[in-house]
Structure 1
Amino acid sequence: MHIQISTKYMEMLECFSSETRVKMIELLSDRSMSIKELAETLGLSSAIVTKHIQKMEDGGLIKTESLSGTRGSPKMCSLAIDSLTLQLRSSSMDNEIEKESKYTIEIPIGQYSNYAVKPTCGLASDTKILGLVDDPRYFSDPERMNAAHIWFGSGYVEYRIPNYLHAAQTAQQVEISLELCSEAPSYDENWPSDISFFINDIEVGVWTCPGDFGSKRGALTPAWWQLGTQNGLLKTLTIQETGTYLDGVKLSEVTVNDVGIKLGEDFRFRLASLETARHCGGISLFGKQFGNYKQDIVVHVFYKDRSRAN
């Protein structure tokens, strides 16, 4: 996440003014924890921990979820973002983005429009494996729409993003947020994978994921799941007029004007683990019922509306 330092973000910035809250962030960077676990680890009462968590939730740093079906319904806490970039000096581009309009859509991870994958591979809903493991044919099965977890050793999946802009509107920034990691047989937390991001067949950047995470169960991962991979990292890809960024770090010089977002046409977002990459370590994707983050693929399209200037 990238923010301009201003009073607009005081709730978020104030979260870092307490050593206790910073310690909580350190603990939650490793795994999701309940209020009770945080209290016991920090030697504080649950009431005090709850107050700190509420402040960080209001500031957008923490998200919580009550686990149903268990005694007392414990509230699980996890980080709402993976990184935060603070900008001290504003730019004309930032001021323009601040004034823009946007639309937001969330695409289920099983709603891909095209694919080509090789084992290890498979799909799972929140209740079962979909089809057969390591059989790419099941990536065409209509039940894929229920997928909450997808994995493949090499290849790609591609999604169509609706373009709701009309003639007076121009895309200024596209922001795509999703939970993902590498894909190793079973799991291997030291398993780098070069994951390529494409918009309309144009590679906008490559990120090397450090591993396939399976040593600690994901906060949302179903109890029946025993195949290794548990959760991923929440990453935010941003394509704007100055280049492409991942969590605020520049990946490439490719801009939103380079990727060919055309009036009346969907645009395509592809995730690929290329066999030609230095680290062809596969991809694991997580939907809102798997992993650590209750979301699928969230897309924000920021745009300028010339009709408002008239």
Structure 2
Amino acid sequence: MEIEVSTKHMSLLECLSSETRVRMIEMLRERTMYVKEIADELKLSSAIITKHIQKMEKAGILSTKLVSGTRGNQKACTLSLDQLVLQFRSPVETTNPVESTSYSVSIPIGHYTNYQVKPTCGLASPYKVIGMLDDPRYFAEPEHVEAHHLWFSSGFVEYLIPNYLIGKTQARSIRITMEICSESPGYNEDWPSDIVFSMNGINLGIWTCPGDFGSQKGNLTPDWWRKTDTQHGLLKTILVTEKCTFIDGVELSDINSTDLTLTPGQDIRFRITSPEDARYPGGISMFGSQFGHYEYDIEVTVSY
């Protein structure tokens, strides 16, 4: 995950200000642990540890699930994040000190302009399922623009990013942030999926999502949504710079903004694909600002 250091993310940043919570992260880095195990190792009460867990779970740092055992149900804790990149300054400002101008847009996940999907698949607004489940025809239903959760086992969805470039300007960087994960029937947190990101037909790179997350209720997922289905995804940031393409601060490919040659009047088509012939053909689930863990649509910033 990559986040901007701002008050918008205080709940997550506050989690790192406690020595106890940082020690818990160190412990969970090695293995899944029960609440009582953590409490015993830190020599604190289970009640205190539970409060720390609730705060970290709300921030998306860890997830919990009830596991039945000889002593009844116990809460098992697992890290949800592999890494966290803190962005203090604009990447364009960091890599190139030349003054830059930018614009930002939020694209609801239901506002795709092209698609090709296969079951399992479906759409949901914050209030109901849209159309019939596992029927790709309903991705053409006019109500699809209201979707805040969509999923498919293979195929793609494509979005048109507004191009507000004028004159002789050319895009220097494009940042895209979204909540996304794999898609399995119900959910399966060990369900890898090779997800391909492309722009105007140019492959930006492949990211392998580790799973389809459902053991913990999404912070924004509505109460009517079944607890046995996908609840949330991972917040991922793709950044195309003048140097290369990154995902969460890690180099994804050597494709750069010059390769895209984005100029005024040109469409900017962003496609997210789960290929059937991938090594891990695990599908795609996407979440909008009223579903999942994070209050994000597809957030795009174009710098020029």
Structure 2 length normalisation: TM-score?
0.75
- Corresponding position of 2:119: 119
- For 2:208, give the aligned amino acid: T
- For 1:124, give the aligned amino acid: A
Distance across 1 between alignment mates of 2:193 and 2:168? 41
Question: Does the CA contact (< 8 Å) of 1:119 and 1:152 recur in 2?
Answer: yes
Higher mean Cα deviation, 163-172 or 193-202? Answer: 163-172
Pick the aligned partner of 2:48 from 34, 43, 59. 43
CA positional deviation for 1:130: 0.2
Q: Deviations over 1:86-135 (max 9, x none)?
A: 89xxx997252673221110000000000000000000001111000000
- Corresponding position of 1:211: 211
- Corresponding position of 1:96: 96
CA positional deviation for 1:169: 2.5
RMSD: 3.6
- Corresponding position of 1:256: 257
- Corresponding position of 1:147: 147
Distance across 2 between alignment mates of 1:86 and 1:106? 19
Distance across 2 between alignment mates of 1:229 and 1:132? 17
Question: Does the CA contact (< 8 Å) of 1:85 and 1:248 recur in 2?
Answer: no
Please, which runs of 5 or more residues in structure 2 have no aligned partner? 6-11, 33-44, 61-79
| Inter-CA distance 19–42: structure 2 relative to 1 (3 Å threshold) | farther
Distance across 1 between alignment mates of 2:290 and 2:163? 26
- Corresponding position of 2:76: none
- Corresponding position of 1:279: 280
- For 1:104, give the aligned amino acid: S
Number of corresponding residues: 259
- Corresponding position of 2:289: 288
Distance across 2 between alignment mates of 1:92 and 1:106? 20
Q: % of aligned pairs identical?
A: 49
| Inter-CA distance 13–274: structure 2 relative to 1 (3 Å threshold) | closer
Does 2:230 correspond to 1:229? yes
Q: Deviations over 1:251-274 (max 9, x none)?
A: 100111112312112200000001
Please, which runs of 5 or more residues in structure 1 have no aligned partner? 5-11, 31-39, 57-61, 64-78, 304-310
- Corresponding position of 1:83: 84
SS in 2 for 1:258: helix
Tell me which stretches of 4 or more aligned residues in structure 1 moved more than 6 Å: 12-15, 24-27, 79-82
Superposed counterparts of 1:289-308, under 5 Å: 289-303=290-304
SS in 1 for 2:172: strand
Question: Does the CA contact (< 8 Å) of 2:92 and 2:172 recur in 1?
Answer: no
| Inter-CA distance 13–282: structure 2 relative to 1 (3 Å threshold) | closer
Distance across 2 between alignment mates of 1:81 and 1:105? 28
- For 2:123, give the aligned amino acid: L
| Inter-CA distance 97–130: structure 2 relative to 1 (3 Å threshold) | farther
Distance across 1 between alignment mates of 2:3 and 2:239? 10
- Corresponding position of 2:71: none
| Inter-CA distance 2–249: structure 2 relative to 1 (3 Å threshold) | farther
Distance across 1 between alignment mates of 2:205 and 2:184? 22
Structure 1 length normalisation: TM-score?
0.73
- For 1:110, give the aligned amino acid: G
- Corresponding position of 1:187: 187
